[in-house]
Amino acid sequence: MFITFEGPEGAGKSTQLARLVARLTAAGLAPTVTREPGGTPLGTRVREVLLDPELDMHALPEFLLYSASRAQLVQDVLRPALSRGEVVVCDRYFDSSLAYQGAGRGLPLALLQGITHEVTGGLRPNLTVLLDLDPALGLQRAAARGQPDRLERADLAFHQRVRQGFLELAAQEPQRFVVLDATKTPDELEAEVWAAVERALKVSGA
Ligand SMILES: Nc1ncnc2c1ncn2[C@@H]1O[C@H](COP(=O)(O)OP(=O)(O)O)[C@@H](O)[C@H]1O
Ligand SMILES: [Mg+2]
């Protein structure tokens, strides 16, 4: 069972991921928890580059850096944990690249999907929780965390395209995605996430 959290900056992904992990742990499922970019020593170095507000980056090299982190994560963390039969929970995965570098930066989706297939070896989540939020509100929430990173500094129109990109991905794969209204309270969202995960676990027979 492979679960990912997606959505704009400040949507509450990390908050809900932590709550889900607590529930899974209480249920005795000992999940593997990771994030993108990052999750491996290489990925952590790549993450520093990607979030550095001092760096200018074109769309394709940006996508390839995310892909490099992802390829390493799939091989070193995701596949091994899944083959041990663990529940794996990941904060962002390839849908973020399709939304940010595709819908947001305008790279052709077919190109991104082709490379992503190679990078992941076709590994797709069983369940993707999309926390949908007006990016203006999300950026306000994220700003409370401190200095904005490189992505948080991008303009609002970019973040609007990213939001639409996520919603289109969800519409194309309604069986994989659950789309939640991220303006709800953390408690309400936690209950909705848990209901979706229980459903998915039942379907997978875990
Ligand atoms: N449902 C919610 N309603 C209001 N604020 C929230 C909610 N979920 C998270 N927050 C707050 O918004 C900020 C960003 O949350 P976070 O989980 O870090 O988002 P993300 O990981 O998606 O960027 C944090 O300060 C967090 O406390
Ligand atoms: Mg986060």
* Helix residue ranges per DSSP H, the chain: 13-26, 41-51, 59-73, 79-83, 94-97, 109-120, 135-143, 156-172, 186-204
Q: pTM score, two decimals?
A: 0.96
The binding site for ATP comprises 7-14
pLDDT in tens, 9-35: 999 999 999 999 999 999 999 999 999
Instruction: Centre a 10 Å sphere on the Cβ of residue 68 and count the other Cβ atoms it contains.
Output: 18
Tell whether the model's pLDDT for residue 206 goes beyond 80: no
Query: Tens digits of per-residue pLDDT, 124-175?
Result: 999 999 999 999 999 999 888 888 888 888 799 999 999 999 999 999 999 9
* Domains annotated on the chain, with CATH: 2-204 (3.40.50.300)
Average pLDDT, the chain: 96
Task: Give residues (CB < 6 A) around ligand 1.
Answer: 7, 9-15, 141-142, 144, 184-186, 189
Q: How far is the CA of 152 from the centre of ligand 2 (A)?
A: 12
Q: Which of 45, 47, 26, 28 is nearest to 36 (CA)?
A: 47
Residues 32-42: pLDDT tens digits?
A: 999 999 999 99
Residue 10 CA to ligand 1 center (angstroms) comes to 5
Closest CA to 118 of 77, 79, 82, 68: 68
